A and B are shown apart, each in its own frame.
Chain A
Amino acid sequence: MTELTDEQIAKAVQKGDSVAFGVLVERYEPKLLRYAKKFLFNYEDGEDTVQEVFIKAYSNIQSFDPDRSFSSWVYRIAHNEFINAIRKKGREPISFFDPDTLFPHPTAPSQADDDLKKAEIKQMVEKCLEKLDPKYREPLVLYYYEDMDYKQISEIMRIPVSTAAIRLKRGKASLQKIYQSLNLRQ
């Protein structure tokens, strides 16, 4: 079972092998917990939310198309659950409407930062999480911690690819400002 792809295991679950679902939980629990920990940094019920993600995933597994990526599908469920968790708490405003999704933005193609730069930005994200707007925090977490590209971020957040890119760009700029102001205070 451990040699099978996520999609093959999901197919087995669809056919009634509910034990196989445990393998998917094993594979995705650390990733989704990390995603929850970073995105829901200040919310104590991150683990419960991730458990709810798996329950929703099992309940809706028949809607999953095994020809597509299971990872994007389960991350999409996680995104919805996390956004709902933030909205329920009402501590951070999350708008239903984002003007960034209306018009195209000229952006550079998705390209990997070098390891040093990536490590540096990860460190900055770690320190400044609570100061970051959720709309920038999430793409930064997906890009730097979950190693996703613009297209995957677009699929998970259901936003245009160019909007994912612009949010990352603005997120990084905002991150640098926050980081500098934190350093100045210390």
Chain B
Amino acid sequence: MTQDPQNDTMKEEVLKAIHDGQVKMRPKWQFITKTALFVAGVVLAVLAVLYLVSFIVFVLRQTGVWFVPYFGPQGFGIFFMSLPWVLIALAVIFMLLLEILFKRYSFAYARPFLYSALAVIFLGIIGGIIIGETPLHERFFDAAENGQLPFAAPFYEHFGQRPSNVTVGVITQINGNGYRVRGDLDDTFTVIVGSQTQIPQPSSLKVGDIILILGSRQGNIIVAQGIQKPSNLPPPRRRAVVPIPAQ
């Protein structure tokens, strides 16, 4: 192979720098450590996304907010106002972090951002919903209430509060114009049904049904703006979760 002088010069300069020790080959363990830290970062970000999304799903279901859109436009308004925006923002931040970390790999950078972002969002939401269906957060919630999770207790208690005008309870008695209901903490109260109350079919409600009530509580009475009986509504909490007192 014939080399031109310039070629020889650069090759010689590079090899001289290597032989003189001016340039050192970085050891393999540095790259392995870097990759391991990177993978650990990805795993932590994935876990954070799954935890946050599943916690959001759990909180929405537990507080009854998930079901308020059953009440129509007013329900959608309450749903939107009651979303845990701080948790949603945190989940979005971790999803963005995950997207940035994935961009190191060709499966992410070789495709438009939209595709990889949608994949991250889709996996985060589906994974979160699946985990949200497991008893994981229920157990954390119970442990937090029993003082076994001192660091997480304020977190679970704060986000476990129902909106002031949303109540969940079990019908214990049916009266002429309403229901006697057992809510959170075994607290009993009366739900009054008026002509303006949105209610599917009064005859479909019976003792033992778990119902979602829209309306502010005044003392021991709720004048219901709406009552719904979603099929998978979680029952009222037996301890610790207290409805925000009506103002």
Interface string of B109-125 (1 = CB under 8 A from A): 11111110000000000
Is B14 touching A55 in the complex (CB atoms < 8 A)?
Answer: yes
Q: In whole angstroms, how far apart are the Cα atoms of A21 and B111 in the complex?
A: 34
Which parts of A105-136 form the interface with B (CB within 8 Å)?
105
Chain A residues with Cβ below 8 Å from B115 are 104
SS of B interface (majority): helix
Choice from A25, A104, A154, A162 contacting B14 with Cβ under 8 Å: A25
Is A29 touching B23 in the complex (CB atoms < 8 A)?
Answer: no
Chain B residues with Cβ below 8 Å from A104 are 111-112, 114-115
Q: List 25 A-B contacts (CB under 8 A).
A: A18-B18, A21-B18, A22-B11, A22-B14, A25-B11, A26-B3, A26-B11, A29-B11, A51-B14, A54-B10, A58-B23, A58-B25, A59-B23, A59-B25, A62-B31, A63-B26, A101-B112, A101-B113, A102-B112, A103-B112, A104-B115, A105-B112, A160-B111, A160-B113, A162-B112
Chain A residues with Cβ below 8 Å from B10 are 25, 29, 47, 50-51, 54
Given contact pairs A26-B1, A30-B7, A18 touches B19 in the complex (Cβ within 8 A): yes
Q: In whole angstroms, how far apart are the Cα atoms of A158 and B10 in the complex?
A: 28
Q: Closest approach, in angstroms, between the C-beta of A51 and any C-beta of chain B?
A: 6
Is A55 touching B28 in the complex (CB atoms < 8 A)?
Answer: no
Binding site for B on A (CB under 8 A): 2, 14, 18-19, 21-22, 25-26, 29-30, 47, 50-51, 54-55, 58-63, 101-105, 151, 154-155, 158-163
Interface string of B3-31 (1 = CB under 8 A from A): 10001001101110111000111111011
Q: Is B106 an interface residue (CB 8 A)?
A: yes
Is B109 touching A154 in the complex (CB atoms < 8 A)?
Answer: yes
Apart from the given pairs A22-B15, A59-B25, 5 other A-B contacts in the complex at a CB distance below 8 Å? A22-B14, A29-B7, A158-B109, A159-B109, A160-B111
Q: Closest approach, in angstroms, between the C-beta of A176 and any C-beta of chain B?
A: 26
Is A160 touching B31 in the complex (CB atoms < 8 A)?
Answer: no
Q: Is B103 an interface residue (CB 8 A)?
A: yes
Is B1 touching A2 in the complex (CB atoms < 8 A)?
Answer: yes
Query: Closest residue to B27 on the A side, CB-wise?
Result: A62
Binding site for A on B (CB under 8 A): 1, 3, 7, 10-11, 13-15, 17-19, 23-28, 30-31, 103, 106, 109-115
Is B110 touching A155 in the complex (CB atoms < 8 A)?
Answer: yes
* Residue among B10, B14, B106 with the highest chain A CB neighbour number at 10 A: B14
Is B31 touching A58 in the complex (CB atoms < 8 A)?
Answer: no
Is B18 touching A58 in the complex (CB atoms < 8 A)?
Answer: yes
Chain B residues with Cβ below 8 Å from A63 are 26, 31
Q: Closest approach, in angstroms, between the C-beta of B62 and any C-beta of chain A?
A: 37
Q: Closest approach, in angstroms, between the C-beta of B11 and any C-beta of chain A?
A: 4
Choice from B18, B28, B103, B112 contacting A163 with Cβ under 8 Å: B112
Chain B residues with Cβ below 8 Å from A18 are 15, 18-19, 25
Query: Closest residue to A60 on the B side, CB-wise?
Result: B26
Given contact pairs A21-B18, A101-B113, A104-B115, A61 touches B11 in the complex (Cβ within 8 A): no
Q: In whole angstroms, how far apart are the Cα atoms of A5 and B24 in the complex?
A: 24
Is B11 touching A62 in the complex (CB atoms < 8 A)?
Answer: no
Given contact pairs A47-B10, A104-B114, A155-B110, A55 touches B17 in the complex (Cβ within 8 A): yes
The 3 residue pairs across chains A and B that have the minimum distance between CB atoms: A62-B28, A63-B31, A25-B11
Is A54 touching B112 in the complex (CB atoms < 8 A)?
Answer: no
Chain A residues with Cβ below 8 Å from B112 are 101-105, 160, 162-163
Q: Closest approach, in angstroms, between the C-beta of A9 and any C-beta of chain B?
A: 13
